[in-house]
Structure 1
């Protein structure tokens, strides 16, 4: 399938001074456009472009050449690469011209292209043609787009898996299951029992539940993938002077936040990207949470509380610096109670108590603090927080954040489901998620209809709606596939 009869071009590299600029062209019979404009570098001999087309098959042609304008003036010496259809990114003829990276040279090249009858490409048009010419599916197209725009290492990994076809393979498996289900239903609609056997719709339940399970796993992958792509969000919260900003600077390894001994120094939410052992985070430092009459600080406290709703990991920073040894247990209990019982949290959040400024606490206190915390969190008043409250606490200081960093990496893996390590297929766009949600709804409805012993026509209609939603995720599911399954599975056509 050819997407269009016209040929397009675009500068594929940044339009700035650089070592090279890469110009990409896609269309039909592209070499004819350049007849009379390409010359050998040393001999200035004219290149016969028709011979290039005759010489190559599936392998690309690449040569260092001189490119001249319509008046015979040299535009630039370029690396000229030709990919013959369908062995190219778009499935059409593709030419890539690498010139010196001067915007003035690129301007001359583009003037020549327009004179030759090439059209400026629209945004994303090369990838659109690749999709229309069946070189990639929609999932892979979205993966390519994300690969270009993602700002995290996790996003790159997931985009590569999507471009590589991991998600496409998974949806293909679900598609085949739905085709098998529809084949059975269509056969019993169109043919008599003596030709296809007795109608037993309950026999479809294992297949339907298998497809449903695969799609539900994909839906669960979306939130994990979102964290991997955007970075797991960490909020450092607590009372003023708890050591939040010092930890913030220590984790970032540079002086980002202002640190003083004066309570309430931080008045706003600071946010920076953080990478620990190739794991992506968004680290947020917040104003100390307390009652205050200071108008500016009050706004900071409100923003801190609002930040809690965005965080995946909430590090409740507590300092025992000025607390008496015998009061540790009571202070920890009160700190947890005040924070947990005055805020709202989500089921997927993790609250991690972090005891800061541990360089100011005797080493023999650590075990006592840890034991006190273990006892306190078992109190019935914290019963509703058991699923989100960490079972262990972390000790650190701005001098040593290694234990905290290790724990954050473990929590990252927990929140993302170890996506990158297991190469699990992951939904990478809201569009994909919405389509899968519709398919899940249709399949659940189909299961209910089977339990109600409804007509096969009605069940088939519902499954077909799910099939249509699924095909919008990955591509076309032809009705011929259903017919082929009928004829190959059942003894039809005597």
Structure 2
């Protein structure tokens, strides 16, 4: 990580032909670098940059100007904006020069910047300076990076909350509780009972449990946040010709998967982004699961089974085509047993039975399924799946996916929780989760030591480790290698 205060520059917009290019420059006392290179458009008089420095206070300076090279050649007519320190993104002086979006013009401008003594910025160096100058903390910096790279609306919302400081506020509150606990312990280490009262560590238990509960909530938010950022993964699985690919196309609203009457048409995994009512999903179509001697199809079946472990929601597509009403209960039992009792599922997954091709069924079929479904899934053979097997089944067809779409939206809300709300800050990086895990471990150890009536010195030491871990979340304790890794993932110019 560089600690240099050299003036830096970078192209903050994409380096492609466009309407404008934005060149960002940051440093200390920047304006003198440009004396003699900026000219008024109408009069072609040189701009006195010292006058700008004296005139502006809190508001940015903005003017339409010519910028020329050392030989006096006009490089471009630009919009010149100056932000005076410390009221800028980095906390230093910042200049933004908006030029015409031709890479050749930008190349000439960058050559001039180097001639003036500015250097090319490293990836993330502007945000790094904002952090080092106290404009933002490390959590907000990570939020800015995710705001740029987010691929879902949920990811954008979580990143905005992080930039707004919701997670920072939560960790600060817990840190203050830990400091209060440590103050009590340190007082009983340094002073006699007649000065601070009898040592009663059990009185700290409410504060300890309050802090632990908040940190546990943060830990629980990570997997929900991951789903919101990446999209809830929906896998369509089932036997060949169950209607998986037809539903896949119907949900996407375009012909993505090949659909034929021939069983085993889908041989590989298909994956696409899907948005339903502003909720983000990753929809996965799989090869029909069955025993087969076809080498290619067998590979597809193996991939389908592996895909199950990655899915948040497993839609078990069941075709009732050619099924007789009198055999419905037996058919349900055999189908569910075949799929559910020969696969491994995670406790965090949800299995949703989806009966396809409802346009081919008589009304009596629906009634019989509804009558028998609850009875079948409550059988003792399925008890180990009671928390992940949906109590509700869905009927749909490639012409009508409304019920399935509505249920997927409800499951999205269930899996992502109350993310994005002010009182529900969310961890957005593996680094943050690791630090919170350490703090949780320290608090649990501290609670255990209190139950054992251990020495206050030992309890205080453990609690202090938890406090330090929380400080590292927001970057109060600077670890150069960690900072280098974080900011190296940013775009150049940010």
TM-score normalised by L of structure 2: 0.95
Helix, strand or coil: the match of 1:260? coil
Deviates most, 451-460 or 192-201? 192-201
Q: Which residue matches 2:452?
A: 452
1:191 aligns to 2:199 (yes or no): no
Q: Distance in 1 between matches of 2:192 and 2:258?
A: 80
Partner of 2:483: none
For residues 39 and 421 of structure 1, the distance between their equivalents in structure 2, rounded to whole angstroms, comes to: 49
* 2: CA distance, partners of 1:4 / 1:402: 58
Q: Which residue does 1:271 correspond to in 2?
A: 271
How has the CA–CA distance of structure 1 residues 433 and 316 changed in structure 2, closer, same or farther, with 3 Å as cutoff? same
Cα deviation, 1:97-125, whole Å, max 9, x if unaligned, reads 10000000000000000000001000000
SS in 2 for 1:90: coil
Are the equivalent residues in 2 in contact too, given 1:175–1:467 (CA < 8 A)?
Answer: yes
Taking the aligned partners of 2:3 and 2:52, their CA distance within structure 1 comes to: 24
- Equivalent residue for 1:121? 121
The residue aligned with 2:486 is none
Which is worse superposed, 322-331 or 35-44? 322-331
Partner of 2:209: 209
For 2:311, what is the secondary structure of its paired residue? Answer: coil
How do 1:134-173 residues align onto structure 2 when only pairs under 5 Å count?
134-173=134-173
Describe the SS at the equivalent of 1:4. coil
Could you list the per-position Cα deviations for residues 218-241 of structure 1 after superposition, in whole angstroms to 9, with x for gaps in the alignment? Answer: 000000000000100000000000
| Aligned residue in 2 for 1:16 | 16
| 1: CA distance, partners of 2:138 / 2:16 | 31
- The secondary structure found in structure 1 opposite 2:420 is helix
Please say if 1:36 is aligned against 2:36.
yes
State the secondary structure of the residue aligned to 1:136: coil
1:446 deviation in Å? 0.9
Contact 1:60 1:83 in 2 (8 A): yes
User: Are the aligned partners of 1:161 and 1:423 in contact in 2 as well (CA < 8 Å)?
Assistant: no
Q: Where does 1:344-423 land on structure 2 (aligned, <5 Å)?
A: 344-420=344-420
Q: What is the Cα deviation at residue 94 of structure 1?
A: 0.6
CA distance in 2, matches of 1:243, 1:339: 16
- Offset at residue 452 of structure 1 (A): 1.2
Give the distance between the partners of 1:361 and 1:216, measured in 2 at CA.
48
State the match for 1:200 in structure 2: 200
TM-score (norm 1): 0.95
Shift of 1:4: 3.1
The CA deviation at 1:374 is 1.3
Q: Which moved more, 1:391-400 or 1:197-206?
A: 197-206
Q: Distance in 1 between matches of 2:323 and 2:398?
A: 19
Distance 1:444 1:57 in 2: 51
Asked if the contact 2:166–2:422 (Cα under 8 Å) also holds between the matched residues in 1, the reply is no
Which runs of structure 1 show a deviation greater than 4 angstroms over 4 or more consecutive aligned residues? none
Kept in 2: contact 1:3–1:133 (CA 8 A):
no
- Aligned-pair CA distance for 1:272: 0.4
> What is residue 282 of structure 2 aligned with on the other side?
282
1:206-245 paired onto structure 2 within 5 Å: 206-245=206-245
Cα contact 1:85–1:94 (8 A) shared by 2: yes
1:199 offset after TM fit, Å? 1.8
Task: Give deviations 1:293-352, integer Å, cap 9, x for gaps.
Answer: 000000000000000000000000001111122112211111111000110000010000
Tell me the alpha carbon deviations over residues 425-478 of structure 1, each in whole angstroms, 9 at most, x when there is no partner. Answer: 000001000000000101111111111111111111111111111100013289
Q: Note the residue ranges of structure 2 that are not aligned, 5 or more in a row.
A: 479-494
Structure 1 residue runs without a partner (length 5+)? 479-494
Relative contact order higher in (CA < 8 Å, ≥ 6 apart): 2
Corresponding position of 1:300: 300
* Residue aligning to 2:474: 474
Count of aligned residue pairs for this structure pair: 477
Deviations 1:56-95 (A, max 9, x none): 1111111111111111100111111111111000011111
Give the equivalent residue in structure 2 for 1:259.
259
